[in-house]
Every structure is written in C-alpha cells, then in structure tokens.
A and B are shown apart, each in its own frame.
Chain A
C-alpha cells in the first residue's frame, strides 16, 4: 500500500490564528485525498475530498472558507484551519486512495486555546 506522512502530529494554537496540516503521499501519486475529523469517542467524519489541480469537494456542513484545502501536487495536500476557535479542537486525519485501497495518515491533534 501507499505510505502517507501527515504532520504535525499535534499542534496547540491560540484562538484566532490559522494552522496548516500537511499530508504527503510518499510513494504514490495521489490524485485524490480525503480529509476526516474525529471528535473524542466519535466516528471519523469526512470533511472534504481533495482533488489534485482542482477545487476540493466539501461535505455538507463543512465551511470551505474556514477549512482551506490545497492539493497543488500529486504528493501533497494541505488543510488550513483558518481563524481557529476552541470548537475546532479535534483529531484531523488525511487519507490517500488508489488501486491498492485506502491508506491513512497518522493524524494531527489540534488544540485551540
């Protein structure tokens, strides 16, 4: 399967600041990546589908202006949480999909204080 690197693994930021999370496909050219969010003791919820070279597709209820996704190359997708607030504190996970199946990053724990 693919090797996916996600970082940072954890970040603490002040309310009102922006945070960027990177997801890299190290050995596979990923035209599609997915971004999920998991609140404590809950399921993984899909936020958006990131398509290389085009705009991301956001799930209902996810603010595209708040969660900016850039997929400028076949190996890198970034998720920027803009003007973060405490309610954005969560575990964010990226995923790469391809003929081998799905591979997930190790996740990013975001805490907004």
Chain B
C-alpha cells in the first residue's frame, strides 16, 4: 500500500522556467510533509517542509503548496537551474508534536536543461 505517491517518474524543464513536482497521499493522519533532493549514492538533502496547519510555505526559489482536501502537495521551483537536476522525494509523517517516521514517495527525476 503506497501511502505517498509521486506519479510522475520524471520531469524535464528548461532553465529559467518553473518546475512543478507533485505528490499525493492517502493517509489522513499525515500532518507534516517534506521535500528532499537526492543524488545517487548520497543521502537525501532537506529542501522545504510544511505543516498541515498551513497551505503554503516559501523558501527562496522553493515553494510548497498543500491541499489537504485533495490530499495533494506540490513543490514549485522558480526559476529552475541546471544544478536542480536530481531526484526529488516527497515524504510525510503522522507525528503530531514529535518527529516520527517518514513515509517516502517513489521520487521524480528532474532534469533542467540549459
């Protein structure tokens, strides 16, 4: 049972344009969501997170949107840069006030072309 799904295995974007990565979840107990960037043979690097009490969080070029009714979140990267090319994972936690285990999506390979 895949509780966190990233239905797009890959995304290709031109440099300077917007990258939109999508993630859906099924567990209504999830209350904390994160996006990670990962290169092969390396650990994930944290990008941005959002609590279920918010619907938007912004940090520089990265913005995460959360639609709880649709159980959907998205990561927007504007403007996209070639250095953003990597695998992006969304993750969710049903942790309440503590940091519990994360459930990851399958990942989306983002390629940003110069």
Q: Which residues of A contact B (CB under 8 A)?
A: 1, 4, 6, 9-10, 32, 34, 36, 42-46, 49, 91, 93, 95, 97-99, 101-107, 109
Across-interface contacts of B89 in A (CB, < 8 A): 43-44
Cβ–Cβ contact B49 & A101, under 8 A: yes
Pick the contact of B102 from A95, A99, A106 — CB < 8 Å? A95
Secondary structure at the B interface, as helix, strand, loop or mixed, is loop
Across-interface contacts of B99 in A (CB, < 8 A): 32, 97-99, 101-102
Residues 75 to 101 of chain B near chain A (Cβ within 8 Å):
89, 99-101
B15-55 vs A, Cβ < 8 Å mask (1 yes, 0 no): 00000000000000000001010000111111001000000
Q: Which of A4, A10, A103 has the most CB of B within 10 A?
A: A103
Secondary structure at the A interface, as helix, strand, loop or mixed, is strand
Across-interface contacts of B101 in A (CB, < 8 A): 34, 46, 49
Across-interface contacts of A105 in B (CB, < 8 A): 43
Total B residues in contact with A, Cβ cutoff 8 Å: 19
Cβ–Cβ contact A93 & B106, under 8 A: no
Q: Which residues of B contact A (CB under 8 A)?
A: 34, 36, 41-46, 49, 89, 99-107
Q: How far is the CA of A96 from the CA of B35 in the complex (A)?
A: 16
Cβ–Cβ contact B104 & A44, under 8 A: yes
Cβ–Cβ contact A34 & B42, under 8 A: no
Pick the contact of A102 from B41, B102, B103, B106 — CB < 8 Å? B102
Give the residue name and chain of the A residue nearest to B9 (CB). A41
With A32-B99, A43-B89, A95-B102 as given contacts, are A1 and B46 in contact (CB-CB < 8 Å)?
yes
> What is the distance, in angstroms, from B1's C-beta to the closest C-beta of chain A?
11
> What is the distance, in angstroms, from B62's C-beta to the closest C-beta of chain A?
15
Across-interface contacts of B49 in A (CB, < 8 A): 101
Across-interface contacts of B46 in A (CB, < 8 A): 1, 101-103
